[in-house]
Amino acid sequence: MANILCIGAGFVGGPTMAVIAQHCPEHRVVVVDVDREKVAAWQSEELPIYEPGLDELVRATRGRNLFFTTEIERSIAEADIIFVSVNTPTKTFGQGAGKAADLQYWEATARRIVECSFTPKIVVEKSTLPVRTAEAMERILSSNDKGLEFEVISNPEFMAEGSAVKDMQQPDRVLIGGRPTPSGQRAVQEVVDIFAHWVPRERILTTNLWSGELAKLAANAFLAQRVSSINAIAGLCEVTGADVSEVAHAIGCDSRIGPRFLSASIGFGGSCFEKDILNLVYLCESYGLPEVAAYWEQVVSMNAYQQMRFVSKMIAAMFNTVANKRIALFGAAFKAHTSDTRQSPALAVCRRLVQERAQVVLSDPRALASARAALGGLAGDITFEPDPHLAACGAHAIAILTEWPEFAALDYGALYRSMVHPAFIFDGRNVLDHRALHALGFNVYAVGRSPLTHFQTPLEQALLTGGPQRGEGRSPSWAS
């Protein structure tokens, strides 16, 4: 039996430890956090985060071999293996502000471990960190005057929110990086043995420490790059008459490219893509690789542009003003099946529309509380309405900002009848049947597709003149 501890009871710490507890009943798994309210929520019937399958999993393991507590000191003292999954946000001050990872929570944790330890331990980096953070961790840990030995292991987490439990139950791979020394390899093996309880051995990859750290940042950069790439193509589709879904399908049929992560959208959100890429950019700059830094930074710039372009399209379509117009925003979460609104493009769209003095009504099946907290201080006309029918009633427009299946299943005929006409739908996730909506009377704008309208705004006319037919895109100057 081992005492496994996780420091940080967030989106990663809670679910990861619940899965380990489920598959390793012989181990005692403890999760600690400095946030008392969060720990209390983990101990209650209302968990602090929503993830499909998580309630059941926690119910089955909590109190058996999974425990949530604020007793950090005692938990560290008792632990054999410590996973650290504290937050590593983008630094907002001083050197590297806006790009570098803020490692203050990380370092505070390392110092706490040294302080409270009386036996040797394996310390596992679960948080996403700049390459070579393990070296700093080792230095802090080895500064102890008790003669204790610590081994640092990199075990980055690849789960995505909304499918966290499934991703952890059936991971594409588990990555475990360690030192090549005999004690380093013994520590790697101990961590491998935990995951081998349910992950096939061939999916457990062992690497050196630095590859482990860098692979995590690189994987997020590659994923985000795909979203920015398809969104860049979406912009071109909208002015040429090509359909981004058809283009994505055609691209994705190439087995070298593959079909996943090619959905055009209002841009990627979530707590990690932007921060991890900016962290990668900062690392490249710090290591004297400005061209590499600029290459990755463009993925983030493209994402900001995509969000801004979506709002500009809304304003242009609605006769160049949204002031005092009620606009129903369907979706606040950064993606479906999560209550998380961190870096949500939906909130970015919301903020822009509020600046334009629209009357914004936000609806989301799971993320309204988080949206309310995030937008709390924003001056302007925002209402939070759980019922999308009530949100749309009397609205000039609906914008789909999160791809919740609930939104695709609504009665759009009834919504249309309750709205101000002409009525607009802006589908920022391409999840609705656009032709059917157009037939109902809506003016429909999607991402990466020509609009389906019952009239042309002056801007659309300007965009489309020179082109063949309305809705079929325009030709470049060299073709006319």
For residues 269 and 273, what is the distance between their CA atoms, to the nearest angstrom? Answer: 7
Q: Indicate the residue among 83 and 268 with the shorter CB distance to ligand UGA.
A: 268
User: How far apart (Å, rounded) are the C-alpha atoms in residues 174 and 218?
Assistant: 15
Number of residues in contact with ligand UGA under rule CB under 6 A: 20
Q: How far is the CB of 303 from ligand UGA (least distance, A)?
A: 9
Is 116 a catalytic site residue? Answer: no
Picked from ligand UGA, ligand NAD, none, the partner binding residue 330 (CB below 5 to 8 A depending on kind) is: none
What does the alpha-carbon distance between residue 110 and residue 263 come to, in Å, rounded to a whole number? 40
Q: Quick one: 109 or 341, whose CB is closer to ligand NAD?
A: 109
Please say which residue, 370 or 443, places its beta carbon nearer to ligand NAD.
370
**Could you tell me the smallest distance in angstroms from the CB atom of residue 142 to ligand UGA?**
29
CA 18/CA 247 separation, integer angstroms:
40
- Return the SS3 of 338: coil
Q: Any residues with CB less than 8 A from the CB of 334 and at least 6 apart, and which?
A: 161, 268, 269, 270, 340, 341, 342, 343, 344, 345, 346, 402
CB atoms within 10 A of CB 233: 18
- Segment interacting with ligand NAD (CB under 6 A) among 80-88, 143-151, 188-196, 379-387: 80-88
Q: Which of 272, 284, 350, 393 is catalytic?
A: 272
Q: How far is CA 281 from CA 101, 107, 212, 227, 271, in A?
A: 11, 22, 18, 18, 17
448 makes contact, choosing from ligand NAD, ligand UGA, none, with CB < 5 to 8 Å by partner type, with none
State in Å, rounded, how far the first CA of the chain is from the last one: 75
Q: Which two tokens stand for residue 272?
A: 């990690």
Q: Closest CB to ligand NAD among 340 and 356?
A: 340
Q: Which amino acid is at 445?
A: Y
State the Cα–Cα distance between residues 168 and 199, nearest whole angstrom. Answer: 9
C-beta of 332: minimal distance to ligand NAD in Å?
A: 17
Shortest CB 48 distance to ligand UGA, Å: 16
Cβ atoms 150, 123 nearer than 8 A: yes
Length of the chain, please? 480
Torsion over CA: 145, 150, 152, 158 (sign): negative
Q: Which does 7 bind (CB under 5 to 8 A by kind): ligand UGA, ligand NAD, none?
A: ligand NAD
CB of 338 to ligand UGA, least distance (A): 7
Residues 250-309 that bind ligand UGA (CB under 6 A): 261-263, 265, 268-270, 272-273
Q: Is residue 354 a contact partner of residue 311, using CB atoms and an 8 Å limit?
A: no
**Rounded CA gap, 75 and 249, in Å?**
50
User: With contact defined as beta carbons under 8 Å apart, do 178 and 208 qualify?
Assistant: yes
Residue 161 vs 297, nearer CB to ligand NAD: 161
Query: Binding to ligand NAD by residue 90, rule CB under 6 A?
Result: no
User: Residue 270 has what DSSP assignment?
Assistant: S
Gap between the Cα atoms of 280 and 426, Å rounded: 33
CB of 166 to ligand UGA, least distance (A): 12
User: Is there binding between residue 159 and ligand NAD (CB under 6 A)?
Assistant: yes
The piece of 19-27, 59-67, 155-163, 236-244 that touches ligand UGA (CB under 6 A) is 155-163
Distance CA 325, CA 397 (A): 8
Distance CA 181, CA 193 (A): 18
Q: Mapping DSSP to helix (H, G, I), strand (E, B) and coil, where does residue 153 land?
A: strand
Q: Report, in Å, the least distance between residue 327 CB and ligand UGA.
A: 20
By CB under 6 A, residue 334 contacts ligand NAD: no
Binder of ligand UGA out of 66, 137, 159, 299 (CB under 6 A): 159
In this complex, which beta carbon is closest to ligand NAD, that of residue 70 or of residue 208? 70
Strand partners, 360: 327, 382
Residue of 61, 109, 155, 306 interacting with ligand NAD (CB under 6 A) = 109
230-289 positions binding ligand NAD, by CB under 6 A: 271-272
Site string for ligand UGA, 335-364 (x = CB under 6 A): x-----------------------------
Residue nearest to ligand NAD (CB): 10
Computed on alpha carbons and rounded to an integer, the radius of gyration of the chain in Å comes to 25
Q: Please name the residue that has the structure tokens 């959208």.
A: 265
Say which entry of ligand NAD, ligand UGA, none residue 335 contacts (CB below 5 to 8 A, set by partner kind): ligand UGA
Complex with ligand NAD: residue 87 or 265, whichever CB lies closer: 87
Q: State which amino acid sits at residue 359.
A: Q
Q: Is the peptide bond before 422 cis (omega within 30 degrees of 0)?
A: yes
Task: Write out the binding residues for ligand NAD, residues 18-47 only, by CB under 6 A.
Answer: 32-35, 38
Nearest to 382 by CA among 405, 355, 416, 359: 359
What does the block give as tokens for 390?
């009530």
Residues 199-238 contacting ligand UGA, CB under 6 A:
220, 223, 227
Determine the interface stretch with ligand UGA among 69-77, 158-166, 232-240, 315-323 (rule: CB under 6 A): 158-166
Q: Is 128 in the site for ligand UGA (CB under 6 A)?
A: yes
- Residues in touch with ligand UGA (CB under 6 A): 128, 157-161, 220, 223, 227, 261-263, 265, 268-270, 272-273, 334-335
Q: Mind telling me the catalytic residues?
A: 272
- Residues in touch with ligand NAD (CB under 6 A): 7-13, 32-35, 38, 85-88, 105, 108-109, 127-128, 157, 159, 161, 271-272
